[in-house]
Structure 1
Amino acid sequence: MERQPDESAADRARPGRRGAWAALRPLVLRLHFYAGVFVAPFILVAAVSGLLYVWTPQIEQAVYAEQLYVEPDGAPLALHEQVRVARSELPGAELDAVRPATGDRDSTRVLFDLPGLAESHRMTVFVDPYGGEVLGTMQTYGTSGALPARTWVDMLHRNLHLGDAGRLYSELAASWLWAVALGGAALWVSASLRRRRSARRLLVPGAGAPPGRSRSVSVHGATGLWLLAGLLFLSATGMTWSQYAGANITELRERLAWSTPSVSAGTPNATPGVDAGIDTVLASARDAGLDGLVEVSVPRDPAAPYTVTQIDRSWPSSVDAASVAADTGEVVDVVRFADYPLMAKLSRWGIDAHMGVLFGVPNQLVLTALALGLVAVIVWGYRMWWQRRPTRTHALGVGRPYPRGAFRALSWPWRVAVAAVLAAIGWAVPLLGVSLLAFLAVDRVVGRRAGRPPRAAGGNPVSAGAAGAPATGSRPV
């Protein structure tokens, strides 16, 4: 069975003798252990719910086929006629936008704002563009126009249906995922180099490892190494949706002028109250090059223009937007995706790839492999913990943590450097910082209790030697 190296505090305190990694490795090992034990359940839930979400487009198309698809029958009705039919279905509701049918078999979506709907939710009427029949009415969510089944899975992945409080779970998972993945990869590669493992044993899960914990370590480490780039990507893009780290990311993008440009919606009409009609507006946007899937946003202010936006998130991305004067139907402003700043493009592509829509089924297959691989790494990680338990004395116990004292064994310059880096990360990724402080607090309490000598029946302390174990290893990280 492969043993973890038993490094003394003196060894850890002499980084110059074996290099910086030799000094930092025990600290990384202990933090990786704590994060793996306590944060892995949140990451596991995110992986499983994310895996389910990846395939919701196909689920949606099957469940809601009657609302999404029609049989072509002659020439389609004018778009304003389809909107009139939808208005009669929801009298009194405020018209918000229209998503015209694109293909011959697609239905038209007419979207309304209703009091009491959650943020980014709209009531959508599905209309047959040929016969003008209403095919159904249901809530849709977000730019993707997610239908109820997809929305339910989305909210499960986002916040476990617990509202803003539930979003802390997904932010905690995304905040720690990159740190756990990087730390684990560094530990596995360094151990492989130190033991002079072959490339095959480094990269092939379980290769050359004897049964037992050594094989679990090999599967856990090699699989995690293969997943590293994908996990870092999921962590980075996942944090853009988070409450606290996401706010910092948004602020950084604004300061660096990386924000997504938007079309001007403040151009006043020459004759307020005059409306050229949604058909004219759509035709003007098509002439300006906004083909494919679009959403036509209806102005609330009589003096404001229409906004037409491409909503196809597949590759190549089609997210151009145009502002169209309501009175004349003329295009007054256009924002092209080709003119976006590079970082805004990368952000758009990253989010769409995270959702599995950028490259279609290949994108979904890659995300599926990532999710299943992550689940396997977590399961094998807990198996490693179980296999480290002291079976002879505690048959139902679990593995002990790695020895304390790693941070205090560092030289002062290294302590200052590590503290500064952790403080910076904690500021940028607040939930990681708060949870790390919680880990340290719990570890300190447990360390103090573990360091107390046991008491005899009369209440007098028993010496460490009499207790059968040295009073060492009780210092916190």
Structure 2
Amino acid sequence: MQTIQQNAPDETSSVSSRNYRILWRWHFYAGLFVMPFLIVLAITGTIYVFKPQIESALYNDKLSVSASSQARLGYDKLLGIAAGALPPDAKPSSIAVSQDPQRSTEAVFRLASGDSTSVYLNPYTGQVLGTLSVEHRLMKQVRQIHRDLLLGKWGGWLMELAACWTLVMVGTGIALWWPRKQFSVWGTLLPRLSLRGRAVWRELHLVVGIWVSIGAVFFIMSGLPWSSFWGKNFQAVVTWAAPPKAAAKETHVHDADAHAAMAGMPGMKMQDLPLANVPWAVGATMVPMSHDLPQQRLAIDQVVAIAARNGMQTYQLVLPGKSSDVFTASYAPGAGEFVRSDLDQQRTLHIDQYSGKIMKDMRFSEYNPVSKLVSLGVALHMGEYFGLANQLICAAISLTLLGMAATGFIMWWKRRPQHSIGAPKRVLQPPPSIARWKGYMALLGIIFPLMGATMIAVWLGDTLFFKKRA
């Protein structure tokens, strides 16, 4: 949050000076709102980006087993063993399918309380290695704090607003940084560390802020597609306008069956399934129904064999809960063994629980361009695209943003007047040249309606409440 010296120009100052003070005022209020949320986002984001390493360290005794030459137990057998370790009313919801000889098998159950728990088993011996709560494990909590502060829908809206207002803070910050005199590397691109007091904090905030602004904008734009309000509606529009196409091989063979299933669709979407993570591109797509009633339901091992014949070896398999549900095999980020560079291997397979027919086969290659771009952005945002280097870059950006919040607070603390919030003095006669900035703000408000509503509220408060105040 950038500031200037307290001896701000008065109403007789030049047009550029008055423009400067107007932008500074918006920057101040945007920073005042964003700062606490930015701190939370930076800390939780830095932690979550190292999820694979953290979970491996915390739960290695449950996630890993010693490779063995003996045959693996069938998935139906393993699921039965896992069910025996839980109360009788626990309902199986998914099981992890893997070819990794050193990976345990994870079976997820829905408890009577509504929570879910994972049971980990040795796939060679059937030994139960332990259980973990799905909702209450550490990294799940970190992710939920990052997304909605553990407050549900309202928390998600707050975090979305904070992200949108960060765009205002970054945009006005760049405008305030823009050199107005002769360009100099020191003080513009590199901080003058010889300064003392508040001046050095301002210099650090100013220069480091301009370097991290690109990363900040990328984080915001790649995270917003997952947001509670704008992201959900954007996803629905993209899916409606250009839904992921089912792979040609499968839709050609089973086209009649797929259409029959779609006709009786109950309204469940992919994002409603009990998956660790759902690819953004398919989250709003409809899940087809099994319709070959009243045949005997296929065994899990039969479904695994069908998926293997269709080229899927590692995935999370969602089990049917009702007679009309399908088996869903999903290989996506968030799966335990998702290879960090395997973005183009995302795939979702819906399988009729009675006949074993492929109802839908959605692959990354069939996503529309917007969905591919969002998928890439999300993978980069979460450090899932090019390994440790991706994680370190994300962590560096997050920690730098944390530093920006800290330096902004320090500058405000050092210059704050007593009995006042210390906001920049209001310009009572804005120059006509500020109109283009109003246009930028209006455009942001149209693109992000939730933010637009708060803009109107801020404008009304600044115009009416502070109309006669300095």
Shorter chain as normaliser: what TM range? Answer: 0.7 to 0.9
Asked which structure has the greater CA Rg, the reply is 1
- C-alpha distance in 2 between matches for 1:279 and 1:384: 63
Contact 2:44 2:142 in 1 (8 A): yes
Whether 2:48 is the aligned partner of 1:29: answer: no
1:404 aligned partner: 426
2:33 aligned partner: 38
Whether 2:87 is the aligned partner of 1:98: answer: no
Residue 179 (structure 1) shift: 1.7
Q: Normalising to structure 2: TM-score of the pair?
A: 0.79
Partner SS, residue 123 of structure 1: strand
Partner SS, residue 196 of structure 2: coil
Residue 130 (structure 1) shift: 0.7
Contact 2:93 2:110 in 1 (8 A): yes
Residue 341 (structure 1) shift: 0.8
Q: Measured at CA, do residues 50 and 229 of structure 1 come closer, stay the same or move farther in structure 2, by a change above 3 Å?
A: same
1:61 aligned partner: 56
- C-alpha distance in 1 between matches for 2:426 and 2:243: 43
- C-alpha distance in 2 between matches for 1:444 and 1:271: 66
Partner SS, residue 240 of structure 1: helix
Q: How does 1:256-275 map to 2 (within 5 A)?
A: 256-257=241-242, 260-261=281-282, 265-266=287-288, 268=290, 270=292, 272-275=294-297
1:425 aligned partner: 444
Q: Measured at CA, do residues 347 and 70 of structure 1 come closer, stay the same or move farther in structure 2, by a change above 3 Å?
A: same
Moved more, 370-379 or 91-100: 91-100
Correspondence for 1:195 among 181, 192, 211: 181
- C-alpha distance in 1 between matches for 2:73 and 2:434: 72
Q: How does 1:375-386 map to 2 (within 5 A)?
A: 375-386=402-413
- C-alpha distance in 1 between matches for 2:173 and 2:221: 17
Whether 2:45 is the aligned partner of 1:50: answer: yes
Contact 2:118 2:134 in 1 (8 A): yes
Q: Measured at CA, do residues 243 and 305 of structure 1 come closer, stay the same or move farther in structure 2, by a change above 3 Å?
A: closer
Contact 1:296 1:307 in 2 (8 A): yes
- C-alpha distance in 2 between matches for 1:89 and 1:3: 66
Q: Measured at CA, do residues 441 and 270 of structure 1 come closer, stay the same or move farther in structure 2, by a change above 3 Å?
A: closer
- C-alpha distance in 1 between matches for 2:182 and 2:6: 15
Correspondence for 1:310 among 331, 347, 361: 331
Residue 70 (structure 1) shift: 1.5
2:271 aligned partner: none
Q: Normalising to structure 1: TM-score of the pair?
A: 0.78
Contact 1:227 1:373 in 2 (8 A): yes
Contact 1:224 1:377 in 2 (8 A): yes
Read off the aligned partner of 1:352 and give its amino acid letter.
Answer: A
Contact 2:291 2:352 in 1 (8 A): yes
Moved more, 76-85 or 358-367: 358-367
Correspondence for 2:152 among 163, 168, 178: 163
1:469 aligned partner: none
1:113 aligned partner: 110
Residue 307 (structure 1) shift: 1.9
Contact 2:89 2:111 in 1 (8 A): no
What do residues 402-433 of structure 1 show as CA deviations (whole Å, max 9, x unaligned)?
A: 22126x4222x854x55554344334434434
Read off the aligned partner of 1:82 and give its amino acid letter.
Answer: L
Partner SS, residue 103 of structure 2: coil
- C-alpha distance in 1 between matches for 2:181 and 2:420: 27
Contact 2:11 2:18 in 1 (8 A): no
Where does structure 2 lack aligned partners over 5 or more consecutive residues?
Answer: 245-280, 333-337
Q: How does 1:121-200 map to 2 (within 5 A)?
A: 122-141=116-135, 148-188=137-177, 190=178, 192=179, 194-200=180-186
Q: How does 1:238-277 map to 2 (within 5 A)?
A: 238-254=223-239, 256-257=241-242, 260-261=281-282, 265-266=287-288, 268=290, 270=292, 272-277=294-299
Contact 2:107 2:119 in 1 (8 A): yes
Q: How many residues align?
A: 422
Residue 339 (structure 1) shift: 1.4
Correspondence for 1:217 among 195, 202, 207: 202
- C-alpha distance in 1 between matches for 2:150 and 2:127: 34
More contact order relative to length (CA 8 Å, sep ≥ 6)? 2
- C-alpha distance in 1 between matches for 2:61 and 2:359: 38
2:214 aligned partner: 229
- C-alpha distance in 2 between matches for 1:159 and 1:261: 22
Identical-pair percentage: 28
Correspondence for 2:191 among 205, 214, 220: 205
2:258 aligned partner: none
Contact 2:292 2:354 in 1 (8 A): yes
Residue 115 (structure 1) shift: 3.5
Correspondence for 1:352 among 370, 379, 394: 379
Where does structure 1 lack aligned partners over 5 or more consecutive residues?
Answer: 142-146, 451-473
- C-alpha distance in 1 between matches for 2:353 and 2:452: 50
Read off the aligned partner of 1:96 and give its amino acid letter.
Answer: S
Read off the aligned partner of 1:339 and give its amino acid letter.
Answer: E
Contact 1:294 1:308 in 2 (8 A): yes
- C-alpha distance in 1 between matches for 2:118 and 2:6: 59
